[in-house]
Chain A
Amino acid sequence: METTATAGVTPNDSKPGKAKFTFNPNRVAHNLNKLGLGYFSPFARLIAKDEPAKQIKEIATNTILPIIAFLIFVALWAITAKAVKTDSVQIPSPHQSWYALTGTALPGFSHPFPESIEGLEKPFFEDNAGMDPKSINGFAQAETVARETYQTARQERVDKYMSRSNEAAASGDLEKAEKYKGNAEMFASKTYAGNKTFYDQIWISLLTVSIGFVIATLIAVPIGVLCGISPMFNTAVNPLIQLFKPVSPLAWFPIVFVITTWGIEAPPSDSIWQRALFTSAGVVMLCSLWPTLINTAVGVASVDKDHLNVAKVLKLGWFKRIWKIILPASLPLIFTGLRLSIGVGWMVLIAADMMAQNQGLGKFVWDMYQNGDTMSTAQIIVAVFVIGAVGFALDRIMLVCQRLVTFEEQSI
């Protein structure tokens, strides 16, 4: 039988093993919605020519309205930038901020009035792949060059001492040979201790928030389950939870700092596992613990009575009862908590990084603030957009997880 483009809609295609891939626009659109990418579902329908006029209208609405809002925002921003000035610094304009990100004028497009960009000394930098080393991309480029230069120079030293050592050994002077060899090893062990680039700092931030979030989850879910199962336990710990939940990350910082300084030996300077990273992660953990804990407790306490009756009739042991009934039933709420937690964690991270001097985005913002000129402030604005975008991405990832664990009908 011939299958048409809409074959996926026919009801009798459920035979296992015979499932052929058919492009079903409705299913694709449904999955896109499920993945939080609902914006793209009209495109899928448009490809399948499912009411094209309606889809085009929807795409236009979904695209044009946000663009208009964004343009209005940029206009207001530009006006504010013109107006707000101190002796040393002004609010960077949208254009300055764009420049701060790319380090050059738009590719293949020379700015008609480069002198209009304040704080820009040279419009083009031949020695740094055309990028201003003060900009974010330009800095990364300069840093790559510096790192390579360093590594070449170091290798030269190592080679030099190794050949001297070999020469000395050949001439029978073992003492000198040993000494040169020691020098070579010393140079070989050196690493480049330059600044982190902006992109490294994003990764370190993600690493820090992941550590904090994972530890928070490992603590919050079991305690939340206990709170939900046992009213006695809940009564006992609830005051502590309510007391610590509203505490600011800045207040936690000194306490976590003492703990990490006491508990973690200072690592070598080129290691990424710095104490500061754990201090920062600890602060993130202490602040992102609570939404998961409370949601887990509520989820466990409100498991459908019918499901618990099933466990009773089958006389499930406590482990099986938790693992097979209570946890799956409360997963949707646990994931709601996790989604809130990762949002809180990411928000807290910037402050924690600033305090702990962890090499993440918070330190970037802090360093640029210390620079204190307009172009540095422009880089902070870039960082603000990046922080927002990463936070949004994390939220979407958690949203997808949340939708995957939520069964369609809660009680059947």
Chain B
Amino acid sequence: MSYFEAINLGKTYKTPSGDAVIVEGFDLKMKKGEFVCVLGHSGCGKSTVLSMVAGLNDISNGSVLLDHREIEGAGPDRGVVFQSPCLLPWMTTRDNVMLGVEQVYYHATTEERHRIVDYYLAAVGLTEAADKRPAELSGGMRQRVGLARAFALNPKMLLLDEPFGMLDKLTKFELQQVLIDLWNRERLTAMMITHDVDEAIYLADRIVMMTNGPAARVGEIVTIDFERPRDRRDIMADLKYLEYREQLISFLEERVYLLDKAA
């Protein structure tokens, strides 16, 4: 049985002019330790799916199972990295990470908690900036804190909502590396929302493409068959890379609409 399962997941908003169906019949199964990217056009409902899985948005239809249990509300067993890092501006980097660690490791000693925080801050390269406040950090550094905070919870599942969407290309590459290095160490089950095709191919085991909304659902799934750990240059030189890219882009440009009509 799979570790994560979204069954017939749907989101409907009641509006004065009838129901607005955002997502309908979203089905997805994931193995433990699998990295899945969800790809789709802006506004297709990717983020809605993720926030339902995170428990931040009510589920209208269907259900989500994680580790054989149905999820209810938000909780630290699902670490979330938001598009904007959502750091608490009145706390230092260390305290921002510590806040979650205190919740999860509530029976650990203070020293153990500090060791956990230091470990993850070092892993994302922020040891020097541990006592700075978010206002003193660059956008990339803030998102590093966001990653450290999510990983430090030691969650069952990692949920990333376009975490690098607001960064410039160079910083994006750096942070993808930080993310995948951390993930290689811990092999958390991860679901990442993105609209960057190259990012998805570099990071994911499987890429789930969503059809356009309204009533978005899973369109096609592409399995990315590169060995880990991956090297960006190697895989970009690989012929398979171009095939995957072609497959993804042709879906996003053509078949999205065909599937719409079929539904």
Contacts and interface: CB of A to CB of B under 8 A. Distances in A.
Interface string A289-311: 00000000000000000110110
B89 A316 contact: no
Contact of A313 (B54, B90, B91, B133): B54
Interface residues of B, number: 27
A314 B76 CA distance: 5
A328 interface: yes
Nearest to A332: B90
8 contacts: A306-B84, A307-B86, A309-B80, A313-B78, A315-B74, A328-B90, A410-B89, A412-B135
A313 B56 CA distance: 8
A209 to B, nearest CB: 29
Contacts of A329: 88, 90
A389 B139 CA distance: 45
A130 to B, nearest CB: 56
A412 B134 contact: yes
A39 B207 CA distance: 61
A408 B89 CA distance: 8
Contacts, number: 67
Q: How would you classify the secondary structure of chain B's contact residues: helix, strand, loop or mixed?
A: loop
Contact of B85 (A331, A410, A412): A412
B252 to A, nearest CB: 29
Nearest to A328: B90
Contact of A314 (B89, B91, B99): B99
Given A314-B103, A315-B75, A316-B103, A309 B134 contact: no
Interface of A: 306-307, 309-310, 312-316, 324-325, 328-329, 331, 407-412
Given A407-B90, A409-B134, A312 B85 contact: no
Contacts of A324: 88, 91, 99
Contacts of B153: 314
B89 A313 contact: no
A409 B134 CA distance: 9
B89 A411 contact: yes
A27 B134 CA distance: 20
B76 A310 contact: no
Contact of B56 (A312, A325, A410, A412): A312
